[in-house]
Amino acid sequence: MGFVDAHQPGVVECQFRTADGQTHSIIDKLPIFTDAELSSDYQYPQPGAVRCQVLGQVSADGAVRITLVEPDHVQATDGGTQFVVTEAELTG
């Protein structure tokens, strides 16, 4: 995660990797990604996560389709909202 804008709350960019190895970016307000009180003075990248909804399993090797629309109405910078990621990328 990297700092983008100092508005309150700050705006940051978060990157994630899909099951096929592509990297995608999401730019949104800091609280979407973390409860930490970060600012532009911190060293980046910092850990973060984005909430998503699992739509279903795609393959036997653990790939799942997710949507970023639920619960926080988030989208990637390319406009994408559904992605296939490995189950290992999902947390709690």
Q: Does residue 42 surpass a pLDDT of 90?
A: no
| pLDDT tens, position by position, 46-73 | 999 999 999 999 988 889 999 999 999 9
Q: Does residue 44 surpass a pLDDT of 90?
A: no
Domain that holds residue 25: 2-89
C-alpha distances in Å from residue 45, one per residue of 28, 48, 53, 58, 63: 15, 9, 25, 30, 26
The proportion of the chain whose per-residue pLDDT surpasses 90, expressed as a percent, equals 67
Classify residue 10 by its DSSP letter: P
pLDDT at 5: 66
Sheet order of strands, 63-67 included? 53-57, 63-67, 82-86
d(CA 29, CA 19): 25
d(CA 62, CA 18): 12
pLDDT at 6: 67
Q: Does residue 43 surpass a pLDDT of 70?
A: yes
| pLDDT tens, position by position, 10-21 | 889 999 999 999
Domain count, the chain: 1
Q: How many CB atoms lie within 10 A of CB 2?
A: 15
